[in-house]
Amino acid sequence: MHIILGGTGRVGSAVARALLARDESVTIVTRNADHAADLKAAGAKVAVVDIRDVDHLREVFRAGTRAFLLNPPADPTGDTDAEERANVAAIVAALEGSGLEKLVAASTYGARPGERCGDLTVLYEFEQKLRAQPIPVAINRGAYYMSNWAGMLGSVRESGSLPSFFPADLVLPMVAPDDLGKAAAERLLAPVSDIGLKFIEGPERYTPKDVADAVSDAFGMRVEVAVIPREAWAATFLQFGFSQEAAASYACMTAAVIDGQTPGPDDPERGAITLREYIRALIK
């Protein structure tokens, strides 16, 4: 039995679907059973658990043999760093006495030590805590999610403008959630000796202009990149409803990407889904 945290999100559900397609037993951990209805219909079990409930989460882990660990993103209206670090502590505490034989964890390009830089620092702490506990762990650092552009598509269709915190010509490693899910599923099914760090990205790297061009083709209209200047980042996040703490963290992550502090290797594991394929499927 594979236990999937974050199993109703884009990446977690992709892990679950990849495993179910291979007739593997899967339990989805979620706070809302309704969000897992499609996966339940596909054959997954569903465990309704708050991941901060360490004892309950440990009980779910004990029913499995391997687990996919994803730290769910916190609500940006609150203190995301504090919330996500509390999640990390609870997940790691629940592993003690779980009896699991292997873990696969989702992390991110550019994960690094430090404070108050969003996923870069929170997920680095997650990696370190997982390495310090006794269960063998495989860590997949994913490139920038193609799905990060998804929430903008409605306004893009109306305005013909794609907002971007990144320069239009900045080359970024990007990856589709389904490719991350397939990569994680492969490591869950691999021998226990398959541990350590891997980097996962799509078949090639892209710029925000490539995103605009892919959206242009899918919508059949001209779309231009509208770059948000650095001095306006924090104010823009606040306009989106972010807290002061979350706005600062997201601005820190954005700066790290632009300033070249989140490099990927020259030989990552590459998925198959191109940016244009992902955007086209998303719009359909």
Q: For residue range 215-229, what is the model confidence (pLDDT) as tens digits?
A: 999 999 999 999 999
Phi-psi region of 133 (alpha: psi -120 to 50; beta: other; left: phi over 0): beta
Q: Which residue has the tokens 């239009």?
A: 168
Establish if 9 belongs to a structural domain: yes
Q: What is the CATH number of the domain that holds 119?
A: 3.40.50.720
Establish if 37 belongs to a structural domain: yes
**CB proximity list for 214: less than 8 A, separation 6 or greater:** 275, 276, 279, 280
β-bridge partners, 68: 4, 104
Establish if 30 belongs to a structural domain: yes
Return d(Cα 258, Cα 235) in angstroms, integer: 18
Residue 170 pLDDT: 97
Query: Domain range spanning residue 43?
Result: 2-144+176-201+263-271
Alpha carbon separation from 243 to 75, 231, 236, 250 (Å, rounded) = 9, 17, 11, 11
pTM of the model: 0.94
Number of separate domains in the chain: 1
Tell me the one-letter amino acid at 140.
Answer: N
Residues of the chain with pLDDT under 50: none
Residue 7 pLDDT: 87
Are 61 and 99 in contact, with CB atoms under 8 Å apart?
yes
Establish if 208 belongs to a structural domain: no
Establish if 255 belongs to a structural domain: no
Question: DSSP characters for 199-233?
Answer: EEE-SS-B-HHHHHHHHHHHHTS--EEEEPPGGGH
Nearest to 6 by CA among 29, 34, 33, 40: 29
Residue 259 pLDDT: 94
Q: For residue range 250-264, what is the model confidence (pLDDT) as tens digits?
A: 999 999 999 988 888
Residue 264 pLDDT: 85
Establish if 156 belongs to a structural domain: no
Return d(Cα 164, Cα 212) in angstroms, integer: 10
Establish if 236 belongs to a structural domain: no
Establish if 231 belongs to a structural domain: no
